[in-house]
Chain A
Amino acid sequence: MKSKANFNILFVIPALLIVLVFMYFPILMNFFNSLYRMTSYSNARTFVGFQHYAKISSDPIFYTALKNNALYAIFSVVFQVGFGMLLAILLEGKFVGRKIGTFFRNVLFIPSIISIPAVALLWYFIYHPRIGLLNGILASIGLDSLKTAWLANPNTAIYSVIMMSQWQYTGYIMVLLVVAIQKIPRELYESAEIDGANEFRKAIHITIPSIRSMISVCTIITVIGSFKLFSEIYIMTGGGPYNTTQVLGTYMYRSAFLFDEMGYGSAVAVIIFVITFGLSLVQLKSFKST
């Protein structure tokens, strides 16, 4: 029996080695790199201990980045999960016909399959201060005073990028929730109807409790995604104006590859790892409890 178990381990070893070499080893290496001052183009390195972590803790841009990631997470939960759930309930309920429901499901899902650079370019032109659609609409309805350089105004830039992501991913979360709703036994709704429940009560007392676990998964996916954010910011604003739209991902990239501080960038990467790892633990725990 014991020799059979040993023999079985042999089958696990290749996969284990791949995970160790390509996942855990880089994480470990990244931590070691964070203790050195180094650049991406040279082998020269100077040991600085935990200096980078101390510097990060006093760097205002780090806190701006952290705040922006948190803002992204809050907006994403409200719009993608909250609004996505509302859409899922509407499209799966009796408010719209089957054909119309399918049509809107597809239309709302399409943005999530478009690549981020294409979406970013599209929204870049929507927000363009001179030829952009948004300023054009504002001008046409007499709200010229609201016209602004959406991506270059420090008060609007981060929200402009956040809204682009909500447009892109709300449909995706909605589809996940639609699938969960479709798994709810029809009998529950029939019983509720016999009891005289209206659509609102059915949603509150049957739909939402039944898809609780999927809502929780969607929330955690969205929050973790918010802390891994990079491409949207990199393409739309590059972290500007004046670093007001930096998020942890772009802050790390900027330090490592633009400003030759690979060790500092590695330290930021460690912090991103700790945050996303912590959130993953919450996710695992919530899976167990549901």
Chain B
Amino acid sequence: MNRKFISLLLIFAFVFSALAFAETVTIKFLHRWTQEPDRSFFEEVVKEFEKQNPNVKVEVQTVANDPFKEKIKVILGTKDAPDVFFSWPGEFTNRFIRAGNILDITSYMLKDGSMFDYVGSQLIPFIYDGALYGLPYRLDGKVFVYNKEIFKEAGIDHPPATIGEFMDDLEKLAALGMAPIAFGNIRPWAVSHYIAAVNQKSVPEDIWEIDVDPAVGTWSDPGYVEALKIYSDLIPYFNDYTNAISHDDARAGFMQGQHAMMYVEIVEIPEIEREGPEGFLDKIGVFPFPATDGPGNQSYLVGYPEGFVVSSNTKHPEEAVAFLKFLTGREMGRLELEMLGWFNGIKNLVSPEEVKPIIYETTQLILDSNKMVNWLDSSLHAKIWSVYSVELQKLTDQITTPAKVMEEVQKIASEVRKEF
């Protein structure tokens, strides 16, 4: 009797464990944060998700920022494509959507109403042809951070609001014997952020919105040349060897007090707190790119959320979307803020007193902005950016002129239009 009972028990145990094993699904997750504390955060997310969903196993793959841009293009064309992966909204993602590589998650988000948990303006960048393709992982925008002590030393009592005031302040700061702006452009995405700001201020909104569409963009508005002239005026105030040093090298110079200001992403502010001298965060203030006299919109902020998308080839769309929602949802959003200092796209994530004032205020700049202007490099067609980026490095080295830069851009844009 006992023998029979034990045999039956063993059979049941075997069958149930086999069923449980058969039901376990594995989803591959690819992100681009290879260092601490980001790695630990993602490990925590995966651990928590697997705890709450015992039938799902998440396999994490990590590739650093620059190689990520190349690797994702290769693996999306194979059967090993990750189920959930990082992507920059805009043309970087849109080309994958056009190629049918990314899952439309609109119905998944509407089914349980989770779409409405997110800040609307931060979902817009993930919409293509009326469908939603991704969710925001962290909000981001570009601002100048400045050293209040150095500003005071130069006799500047408030940050500049207009480009005229900005130029006056740069002169006063240069008189202290320093290069006022820290700038590292060895990877030209750095200059793309400046150019996105000046383009948007110098060119009417409806025109640059058309121009970023590779099928129709001509880049012929004279405002683009004017924008580059504004950028050219700033070049004498950058540190030496701009095109030879990295953004991180330049930031180290700013944190050491060698420069008075730097154009940084809002998500870098927690990093400045972690890496800078003790109490450095209290010494800095922020201001958006100053307004110009141009015909563009002066109040928009350069920056876009970064997020994650689901592969259209996933065999487990339900589980992949569930993981995406979990990763970008409220619970993990609070953990992200606690561990990394970044806001995700969830509405009313925390109250103001729960975070440092500078982090809350800069995030409010994003939430209050009527519209965000995408980073130039990820909003442009790859071929157009290939020419634009090289010309901008030449301009930074002052070996070409704004007019010549735009001539080259117009030439390549015309070539690209023929492909559509």
Q: Which of A37, A130, A149, A258 contacts B243 (CB 8 A)?
A: A149
Within 8 A of B (CB), among A238-290: 238, 240-243, 254, 257-261
For the residues of B in contact with A, the DSSP-based class is helix
Looking at chain A's contact residues, is the secondary structure mostly helix, strand, loop, or mixed? Answer: loop
Q: How far is the CB of B24 from chain A (nearest CB, A)?
A: 29
A130-B101 in contact (CB<8A): no
Task: Known contacts A40-B77, A41-B96; decide if A242 and B393 are in contact (CB<8 Å).
Answer: yes
Residues of A within 8 A of B77 (CB): 39-43
- For residues 129 through 170 of chain B, which have their beta carbon under 8 Å from a beta carbon of chain A? none
Contact of B241 among A37, A41, A130, A238 (CB under 8 A): A130
Q: Convert B64-86 into 0s and 1s, putting 1 for each residue whose CB lies closer than 8 angstroms to a CB of A.
A: 00000110111011000000000
Distance from A272 Cβ to chain B, minimum over Cβ atoms (Å): 19
Any chain A CB within 8 A of the CB of B382? yes
A129 within 8 A of B: yes
16 extra A-B contacts, CB within 8 A, seeds A152-B186, A257-B73, A260-B73? A41-B77, A41-B95, A41-B101, A42-B99, A129-B241, A149-B241, A149-B244, A149-B245, A152-B241, A153-B244, A240-B393, A242-B390, A254-B386, A259-B382, A259-B383, A260-B383
Q: Does A151 contact B (CB under 8 A)?
A: yes
Sort chain A's interface into a size bin: 20 to 34
Which residues of chain A are near B245, meaning CB under 8 Å? 128-130, 149
Asked if A41 meets B394 with Cβ closer than 8 Å, knowing A129-B245, A149-B241, A259-B383, the reply is no
**Which residues of B sit under 8 angstroms from A151, Cβ to Cβ?**
244
Using A152-B186, A241-B393 as known contacts, say yes or no to A41 and B243 having CB atoms under 8 A apart. Answer: no
Question: Quick check: is A114 within 8 A (CB to CB) of the other chain?
Answer: no
Cα distance A152–B187 in the bound complex, in angstroms: 11
Q: How near does chain B come to A74, taking the closest CB pair, in angstroms? A: 26
Q: Mark A171-187, 1 if CB is under 8 A from B, else 0.
A: 00000000000000000
Within 8 A of B (CB), among A118-145: 128-130
Q: Is the CB of A242 within 8 A of B394?
A: yes
- B397: chain A residues at CB < 8 Å are 241
Of the listed residues A41, A43, A238, A240, the one surrounded by the most CB atoms of chain B closer than 10 A to its CB is A41
Residue A54 is within 8 A (CB to CB) of chain B in the complex: no
Q: Can you list 16 contacts pairing A with B, beta carbon distance less than 8 Å?
A: A39-B77, A39-B99, A40-B73, A40-B74, A40-B76, A41-B99, A129-B245, A130-B245, A130-B249, A149-B241, A151-B244, A152-B244, A240-B390, A240-B393, A241-B243, A257-B73
- Complex contacts, A128 vs chain B, CB 8 Å: 245
Q: How far is the CA of A130 from the CA of B394 in the complex (A)?
A: 21
Task: Indicate whether A44 reaches chain B with its CB closer than 8 angstroms.
Answer: yes
The total of chain B residues at the interface (CB under 8 A) is 28
Interface centre among B70, B74, B243 (most CB of A within 10 A): B243
When C-beta atoms are compared, the residue in chain B nearest to A240 turns out to be B393
A243: chain B residues within 8 A (beta carbon): 390
B contact residues around A257 at 8 Å (CB) = 70, 73-74
Contacts of B101 in A (CB 8 A): 41-42
B100: CB under 8 A from chain A? yes
Interface residues of B in 31-88 (CB under 8 A from A): 69-70, 72-74, 76-77
Binding site for A on B (CB under 8 A): 69-70, 72-74, 76-77, 95-96, 99-101, 186-187, 240-241, 243-245, 249, 382-383, 386, 390, 393-394, 397, 419
CB contacts (< 8 Å) of A254 on chain B: these are 386
For residue B381, which residue of chain A has the nearest CB? A260
Residues in chain B near residue A44, CB distance under 8 A:
99
Name the residue on A nearest B100 (C-beta): A42
- Tell which of B69, B101, B241, B394 has the most Cβ of chain A within 10 Å: B241
Chain B residues near A261: list those with CB within 8 A: 383
Q: Which 5 A-B pairs have the closest CB atoms?
A: A149-B244, A152-B244, A42-B99, A41-B76, A129-B241
The CA of A259 and the CA of B91, in the complex, are separated in Å by 12
Q: Are B382 and A258 in contact (CB under 8 A)?
A: yes
Are B243's CB and A152's CB within 8 A? yes
Residues of the A chain whose Cβ atoms lie less than 8 Å from the Cβ of B72: 41
Residues of B within 8 A of A238 (CB): 187
Cβ-closest chain A residue relative to B66? A238
Q: Within the complex, what minimum Cβ distance (angstroms) separates B180 from chain A?
A: 17
Which residues of chain A come closer than 8 Å to B419, judged between CB atoms?
Answer: 37
Q: How far is the CA of A243 from the CA of B394 in the complex (A)?
A: 11
CB closest residue in chain B, given A150:
B244
Compute how far the CA of A153 lies from the CA of B243 in the bound complex, rounded to whole angstroms: 9
CB distance from B33 to the nearest CB of A (A): 20
Write the nearest CB–CB distance from B240 to chain A, whole angstroms.
7
Residues from chain A with Cβ under 8 Å of B99 in the complex: 39, 41-42, 44
Tell me how far the C-beta of A164 lies from the nearest C-beta in chain B, rounded to whole angstroms. Answer: 16
In the complex, the answer to whether A39 meets B241 with C-beta atoms within 8 Å is: no
Contact present for B382 and A260 (CB under 8 Å): yes
Residues of chain A within 8 A (CB-CB) of B390 are 240, 242-243
Report A-chain residues with C-beta under 8 Å of the C-beta of B73: 39-41, 257, 260
Chain A, residues 22-60, CB within 8 Å of chain B (1/0): the string is 000000000000000101111110000000000000000
Residues of B within 8 A of A42 (CB): 77, 99-101
Whether A258 pairs with B393 at a CB distance below 8 angstroms is no
Give bound CA distance, A43 to B241, whole Å: 43
Alpha-carbon distance between A128 and B246 when the two chains are bound, in angstroms: 11
